[in-house]
Chain A
Amino acid sequence: MSTFFEMGKLADEKPTQDLEAFQGVKKVPHEEYYTSGHRTCQGCQSAQIMKLMAKAAGPRTVVLGSTGCMYVGNTSYYSTPWGVPWMHTQLGSAGSSALGAAAAFRVLMRKGVMKDEPINVIAFCGDGGGADMGVSAISATMSHPDYNLLILLYDNESYANTDIQISGTSPYGANTSFSTPGKMKRIMNRRWKKNIAPLMLVGHPTVKYVQPPAPPTRCRR
């Protein structure tokens, strides 16, 4: 499964957190900010990504989680795996929810109502929510130079939580319940995978950092 990150430009006044880099796998801190309390499939790599993201981000973080496996298979009341504050957002709202949180923190700190500190604002989405429905919201958010935020898109090349349908990042020929091979049409999905990472990088002048999949690994489920 391929994964990649996008990061908004550093705001002029607000620094990001000064987090110590992990000095090798044996020196990774033990604190988990994404722990037991989810009910994802055994071996779920999206959940692994959440665990690593939360571990890297640390406790001064707020996470906005858009609808998908990482919502439905994760926060089922009474349990939650999140050791940092987390809020659900709509399927196409990773971009807008991150912007709202970042804007609130910025103004409340400026007005002296909230303690002034860099808070990690991280919104996650799948390829369905991020590369399809939520593209416009992410694109708009990426154009704002004033806010520190991270959009994490976990790309499993499908709408997975609804039992696998093609998304804009599904490969050509993918066999899913919306692209079923049949007697007349052997291949239903004749769309090529959308190149979302360069789209975000090239089109938005103030985006500081985009990590595309490198190298891509496929997961056969």
Chain B
Amino acid sequence: MATIAVPAEEKKKTSEEALITGAEAIAIACKLADVDVVTAYPIRPYDAVMQYMSQLVADGEMDCEFIVAEGEHSQFEIVKHASACGARVFCGSSGVGWMHAMEALTVTPPLRIPMVAMVGNRALDDPGAFGVEHNDALAVRDLGWMLTWVDSAQEALDTALIAYRVAEDRRMFVPLAISCDGSFLTHSQALVQVPAAEQVQKFLPRYNRGDLLLHPDNVISVAPQVNEDWVMEIRRQNYAVTEIACDVIREVYADFERTFGRKYGNPFFEEYMTEDADVVLLGMGTMSTPVKVAVRKLRGEGKKVGFVRLRWFRPFAGPQIAKCLERFKAIGVIDRDFSFGSPDLSGVVATEVRSAMYSSAATRPPVLGFICGLGGRDVTVPDVEKMAEIAFEAAKGKAQPLTQWIGLRG
């Protein structure tokens, strides 16, 4: 949860308040960031960001090449090459649209292309669905993309600005996807402090590709055949990015706070009422709203429960997360995704949390996996209360199933 630390008079000069959706917040961030090339293709729910951006371009509020592609594969290929030629780019998709772009998404990190993309998280359909599920963005988790989940329009705008700083840092030069829960964040309005353009210019220097720029003045051949001679070393270079990614993210958040006065504290996860909690729930995205409501309700009943909201999924701040979680008696991970056939049949986040705990935690509290809220189904306050109850049972030492589906019919 962001707290505004800027004195009131200064706040008036440097930002203005707007009632906007998550999608519009990101469109405004791209305008403030003076993005150069944007490619659009319609798929719900992310495409609201492109509709807002189209209007900004048509009204002369934003100067960029706004290209409507004929498919998501081309959409992401176009901005990939535009970025190679020095342009700051923005793109996005949802659900199976994101999957249609998969070939392009796969090669973007090894090419060291700092693309910022918005994923309007949507169920992979068939079965036909428009609602939120996290598997679309998660599909690139092994490939070198940075992945972050935001839960408010303010955080969406701020993270988009942070994303360009992080991605375009020469030590990084990898793509970054900002996930906004479909409909719940992309299409719901909230009050947002929109920073002034001058402030953003201070925070975001121009994208400089340096000696990697594809331009007649720089005769280079990009992405030759390397085969078994060099693939491993090139992958190792992407690995080197992940080794410093957490440090770069911390640096940028600190600079964000200095420039805009909005303090996010620990960039990687937010802790809510965890100080003296016995059990915690952990999740990503807009489930934070019902979870926090349930946590307050349970606290009112004397039950010591807290919530950890993961912001950054890649890089996964494993040791830090383990250090945070090891003090609790049980952890309930709420996965708004599925990972069929995984160890313990849990969702993606639970599997990763368990892995981090195994490596870095001093204790071994039960980590329970919950699958909830798929296909746009609400994570309800009673659902959360049920998950907390199960976690409390586990904390008492009563063994619980490692994976449970919550909110299922029948």
Q: Name A residues whose Cβ lies closer than 8 Å to a Cβ of B.
A: 59-62, 64, 71-72, 75-77, 80, 82-90, 92-93, 95-101, 103-108, 110-111, 113-114, 119, 136-137, 139-140, 144, 146
Residues of B within 8 A of A110 (CB): 63
CB A203 to nearest CB in B, in angstroms, measures: 13
B265 interface contact, C-beta 8 A: no
B78 interface contact, C-beta 8 A: yes
Q: Which residue of B lies closest to A81 (CB)?
A: B221
Which of B34, B73, B80, B224 lies in contact with A75, CB distance below 8 A?
A: B224
CB B205 to nearest CB in A, in angstroms, measures: 12
A sample of 30 cross-chain residue pairs with beta-carbon separation below 8 angstroms, ordered by A number, consists of A75-B221, A75-B224, A77-B226, A82-B221, A85-B220, A85-B222, A87-B214, A88-B222, A90-B107, A95-B74, A96-B74, A96-B77, A97-B80, A98-B81, A100-B80, A100-B83, A100-B85, A101-B81, A103-B82, A104-B83, A104-B85, A105-B85, A107-B63, A107-B87, A111-B34, A114-B215, A119-B215, A136-B71, A136-B74, A139-B70
Which of A75, A80, A101, A136 lies in contact with B85, CB distance below 8 A?
A: A101
Q: Within the assembled complex, what's the spacing in Å between the Cα atoms of A49 and B84?
A: 25
Residues of A within 8 A of B206 (CB): 113
B103 interface contact, C-beta 8 A: yes
Q: Name B residues whose Cβ lies closer than 8 Å to a Cβ of A.
A: 34, 36-37, 63-65, 67, 69-71, 73-75, 77-87, 103-104, 107, 206, 214-216, 218-227, 229-230
Q: Which residue of A lies closest to B36 (CB)?
A: A107
Residues of B within 8 A of A76 (CB): 224-227
CB B233 to nearest CB in A, in angstroms, measures: 11
Known contacts A107-B64, A113-B86; 8 additional CB pairs below 8 A are: A75-B224, A83-B219, A85-B221, A100-B82, A103-B82, A104-B83, A108-B36, A144-B67
The answer to whether B64 and A137 touch across the interface, beta carbons within 8 angstroms, is: no
Q: Within the assembled complex, what's the spacing in Å between the Cα atoms of A105 and B65?
A: 10
The answer to whether A92 and B224 touch across the interface, beta carbons within 8 angstroms, is: no
Residues of A within 8 A of B67 (CB): 99, 103, 144
Q: Within the assembled complex, what's the spacing in Å between the Cα atoms of A162 and B221?
A: 23
Q: Which residue of B lies closest to A71 (CB)?
A: B225
The answer to whether A99 and B214 touch across the interface, beta carbons within 8 angstroms, is: no
Residues of B within 8 A of A105 (CB): 85
The answer to whether B216 and A111 touch across the interface, beta carbons within 8 angstroms, is: no
Q: Within the assembled complex, what's the spacing in Å between the Cα atoms of A192 and B107?
A: 34
A-side interface mostly: mixed
Q: A72-B225, A90-B107, A92-B73 are in contact. Are A103 and B65 (CB under 8 A)?
A: yes
**10 smallest beta-carbon distances between A and B, as pairs:** A100-B81, A104-B85, A140-B70, A75-B224, A96-B77, A104-B87, A88-B223, A80-B221, A96-B74, A87-B222
The answer to whether A75 and B225 touch across the interface, beta carbons within 8 angstroms, is: yes
Q: Within the assembled complex, what's the spacing in Å between the Cα atoms of A136 and B77?
A: 13
The answer to whether B107 and A104 touch across the interface, beta carbons within 8 angstroms, is: no
Q: Which residue of B lies closest to A110 (CB)?
A: B63
The answer to whether A85 and B78 touch across the interface, beta carbons within 8 angstroms, is: no
Which of B34, B74, B80, B230 lies in contact with A77, CB distance below 8 A?
A: B230
Q: Within the assembled complex, what's the spacing in Å between the Cα atoms of A97 and B223?
A: 14
The answer to whether B77 and A103 touch across the interface, beta carbons within 8 angstroms, is: no
The answer to whether B222 and A86 touch across the interface, beta carbons within 8 angstroms, is: yes
The answer to whether A62 and B77 touch across the interface, beta carbons within 8 angstroms, is: no
CB A128 to nearest CB in B, in angstroms, measures: 15
Which of A93, A104, A119 lies in contact with B74, CB distance below 8 A?
A: A93
The answer to whether A85 and B224 touch across the interface, beta carbons within 8 angstroms, is: no
Most buried by A among B84, B86, B224, B229: B224
Q: Within the assembled complex, what's the spacing in Å between the Cα atoms of A138 and B381?
A: 50
Q: A77-B225, A77-B230 are in contact. Are A140 and B74 (CB under 8 A)?
A: yes
Residues of A within 8 A of B227 (CB): 76
Q: Which residue of A lies closest to B70 (CB)?
A: A140
Q: Within the assembled complex, what's the spacing in Å between the Cα atoms of A75 and B83?
A: 22
Q: Within the assembled complex, what's the spacing in Å between the Cα atoms of A103 and B221?
A: 20
Which of A80, A84, A104, A111 lies in contact with B81, CB distance below 8 A?
A: A104
Residues of A within 8 A of B71 (CB): 136-137
The answer to whether B214 and A100 touch across the interface, beta carbons within 8 angstroms, is: no
Residues of A within 8 A of B218 (CB): 85
